[in-house]
Amino acid sequence: MRTFVLVPGAGGSAWVWGRVARLLVEAGHEAIAVDLPGEDEAAGLPRYCELVVDAIGSRSEVVLVAGSLGGFTAPLVCERAPVGELVLVNAMIPEPGETVRDWWAHTGALEAQDEAAGAGGYGPFDAAAYFMHDVDEQVAAEGESYQGAEADIAFESVCDFTAWPPIRIRVLVGQDDRFFPVGLQLRVARDRLGVEADVLPGGHLLPLVQPRLVADYLLQTTRLGEVD
């Protein structure tokens, strides 16, 4: 049995991982989706790290899974807890000492967004068009009560870690992600981690759009296309 610890993105709601977590449990594993206080102006990355480390507790060799903004929490947790494997899902990949706000300029993310929007014909940023375009209407309606804002402190917090850990790191991206276009994610994973990302069909909220495919990916011990 493996333990999967699932870290959400902006807003901090563990609900986004709920469908994937159920599938992992049905497969005989432990899954812990962590709620984070995204709206708390006194929290930020250090507090997020504390909460994830507390959720891990005395467990060892956990599989840490982080989505979107959770990518900034992941390396902090890896320096404080016995993480055996890290999986980043449509996640921001920081460099040591970077802030979330600076990540956008450093990676060229806004330019990549604009280019993808022009090619895809879906225009400038709009939350519904960028996040919900491929989410089932019933799932979207269920999630409305779990939506929350992200306090500014998270965007200004320094991601204070030394280096990415020398453990197995996999990167999973959505082919149809409009918020972090696939080309951007492939490039950042290669440049910052030296990792070739895996691609699945689906947008930014991949755990909601493709829970079965995401769960199956997490349960694999190899990258897509490799032999177990």
Q: Could you report the per-residue pLDDT of 46-95, keeping only the tens digit for each?
A: 999 999 999 999 999 899 999 999 999 999 999 999 999 999 999 999 99
Q: Compute the mean pLDDT over every residue in the chain, rounded to the nearest whole number.
A: 94
Q: What is the H or E stretch that residue 32 is in?
A: strand 30-33
pLDDT at 143: 87
If you average pLDDT over residues 4-26, what whole number do you get?
97
If you average pLDDT over residues 191-207, what whole number do you get?
97
In the chain, the percentage of residues whose pLDDT exceeds 90 is: 86
- What one-character-per-residue DSSP string does 168-215 give? EEEEEEETT-SSS-HHHHHHHHHHHH----EEES--S-HHHH-HHHHH
pLDDT at residue 227 greater than cutoff 50: no
Is the distance from CB of 35 to CB of 14 less than 8 angstroms?
yes
Reported as a single tens digit per residue, the pLDDT across 114-134 is: 999 999 988 888 888 889 998
pLDDT at 34: 98
If you average pLDDT over residues 172-176, what whole number do you get?
98
Alpha-carbon span 62 to 190, nearest angstrom:
24
CA distances 41 to 44, 47, 75, 161, 202, Å, are: 7, 11, 21, 22, 32
Domain ranges of the chain: 3-219
Assigned token pair, 14: 């563990």
pLDDT at 148: 86
Indicate the CATH number for domain 3-219: 3.40.50.1820
pTM: 0.95
Q: What is the dihedral of CA 9, 14, 15, 16, to 10 degrees?
A: 30
